[in-house]
Amino acid sequence: MSSTSLEGHRALVTGGGTGVGRTVALKLAQAGAEVTVCGRRLAPLEETAAMADRVSYAITDVTDEAAITELFEKFGPFDIVIANAGGTQSAPLTRVNLADWQQTLNVNLTGVFLTFRAALAGLKGRPWGRLVAIASTAGLKGYGYVVPYCAAKHGVVGLTRALALETARGGVTVNALCPGFIDTPMTEESIQNIIDKTGKNADEATRALTSTNPMGRLIQTDEVAASVMYLCGEHSGSINGQAIAIAGGEV
C-alpha cells in the first residue's frame, strides 16, 4: 500500500478531525494527495492538519446544504471523496424521539448524499474519481438499541450501490466500507454508555462489543485506511458498488 502514489489528486475527508477520518486523511496525504478535512469542531481539525503536509481544514456541517456547496467551491474540485462523518446514540426504539431519529439520519445518510452529490458535480467530464462512504456493519445487519443508526447505514449502502450504476461508465467508482466496532472515540463513548447503563466495568463493557467480532478485538483505524488506499489505487478500477465488510468475519 505504501507504493500507492496519489500525486496530483485532491481529496476530501469529512469527519476528518478524529478516528478513521484522521487516519485516512494522513494516509492520503502521505501518498501525495492534497487533502482537505472537514468537521464541526475546530481543535481536532487543527490537530489533524498539523500532523502532515498537504492537509488543510474547513469547519463544515455535512447536513447543511449551503455549507457543503461553499466547501466545494472554496477547496474543490476533489477527485477523491471520503464520506466519513457520522455519529450515533443508544436507546431502545420506544425511547427514540423524532428529533433524535432525524438527527441520526441527517448526519449519517443525508450528509453522504449531500457530499457525494457535490462531488459528482466537480467530477463531471473527468476520467477518474473515487467516492468512498465509511458505513458500518450496521449497514449489513442489525444491532439492538441503535435502530436509527442501522437504518441510516443501510441507507448508505443502498445509496452506494445505486450511485455506482450511474457512474460506472465514466471512470468514477463508488464503494462503501463497513467496519465493525472500531478503536475510536465514538466506540469509547459506546463503552462508557454500556458502563453507565449496565454497571459493567470497562473490561466487561469492551468485551460486550468485541464479542461481535469473531477475532475478539476492535478494528483498527489503519485497517480501514488501508482499504481506502486500495480503492484509490491503480488495480481497483473494477471494484464498484460494493459494501466491503472489515469485521473479522462477523458478516
- Catalytic residues, by residue number, are 149
Q: What are 182's strand-pairing partners?
A: 219
158: helix, coil or strand?
Answer: helix
Helices (H), 56-184: 65-75, 98-105, 111-123, 147-167
- Give me the numbers of helices (H) and strands (E) for the chain, helices first please: 9, 7
Cα–Cα nearest to 82, from 130, 150, 120: 130
Determine the Cα–Cα distance for residues 147 and 45; give it in Å rounded to an integer: 29
- Alpha-carbon distances of 180 from 21, 153, 213, 215, 223, rounded to whole Å: 15, 12, 7, 11, 11
Helices (H), 176-247: 185-198, 202-210, 221-231
H or E segment at 21?
A: helix 19-30
DSSP 169: G
CB of 52 within 8 A of CB of 45? no
CB of 54 within 8 A of CB of 29? yes
